[in-house]
Amino acid sequence: MALRHSEFTGAGAVVAAIDVDDPGRHAAMVEKLNLPFPMLSDPDRSLSIAPFDLVDEDDRRDLAIPATIVIGPDGAEIWRSVSRDYADRPVEDEALDVVKALWLDPVSQPAPTPGEPDPSPTAMPFTDMRSYFRGAKGAALAMARRFPDSKVEAQRYAELMDRYMEDVTAMYRIKRAAAEAG
């Protein structure tokens, strides 16, 4: 959603990400990915993750189930797309279509002021992300050859990795242009 943030705000949406990490980890993620929206912390999953029924009981790391949720102006949930696992993300087009159908006035959303970055020691460097996604795509396609019954799912996953690689490439160009301009 970072690359399409202006489309969401142009359609009247305010965007925020919520997960279990602490504010320092969020600050590192906002900085690394140049996110134009804030990341909010729900470390015990009680404020938003559990109320939206997104607690992943099967994950020993106490993570949330990734989801995109559109909340209407009255505070009611009007649409959700729940992912199957951490690597599965909905296509932004669906959420954007729902927001556009609300006919809201455009909004401005100030850039986040994330605070002091404190990246996880296991955080992947931005420069390694494209290679990681390329490897994940290759692994999925190899599994499809080994297990033909999983071919459709593997192809879907490979397409998702292609999207991630495109997004990382676009983010890299934006970061490089900002560094050259500044």
Number of structural domains found in the chain: 2
Residue 9 DSSP SS3: helix
Does 80 share its domain with 153?
Answer: no
Q: Using CA atoms, how far apart are residues 55 and 49, in angstroms rounded to an integer?
A: 6
Q: What is the pTM of this model?
A: 0.86
Task: Confirm whether 111 is domain-assigned.
Answer: no
Does 49 share its domain with 96?
Answer: yes
- Residue 106: exposed, middle, or buried by beta-carbon count in 10 A (0-12, 13-18, 19+)? exposed
Q: What CATH number corresponds to the domain at position 51?
A: 3.40.30.10
Task: Confirm whether 6 is domain-assigned.
Answer: yes
Does 16 share its domain with 91?
Answer: yes
Q: Using CA atoms, how far apart are residues 13 and 16, in angstroms rounded to an integer?
A: 10
Burial 71-85 (b: 16+ CB within 10 A, else e): eeeeeeeebbbeeee
Helices marked H in the chain: 5-10, 23-33, 92-100, 126-146, 151-181
Residue range of the domain that includes 80:
2-100
Does 67 share its domain with 140?
Answer: no
Does 131 share its domain with 94?
Answer: no
- Beta-strand pair 39-41/17-19: parallel
Task: Confirm whether 86 is domain-assigned.
Answer: yes
Does 71 share its domain with 36?
Answer: yes
How does pLDDT run along the chain (182 residues), one tens digit per residue? 899 999 999 999 999 999 999 999 999 999 998 899 999 999 999 999 999 999 988 877 778 889 999 999 999 999 999 988 777 777 799 999 999 999 999 999 999 987 899 999 999 999 999 999 999 999 999 999 999 999 999 999 999 999 999 999 999 998 888 889 97
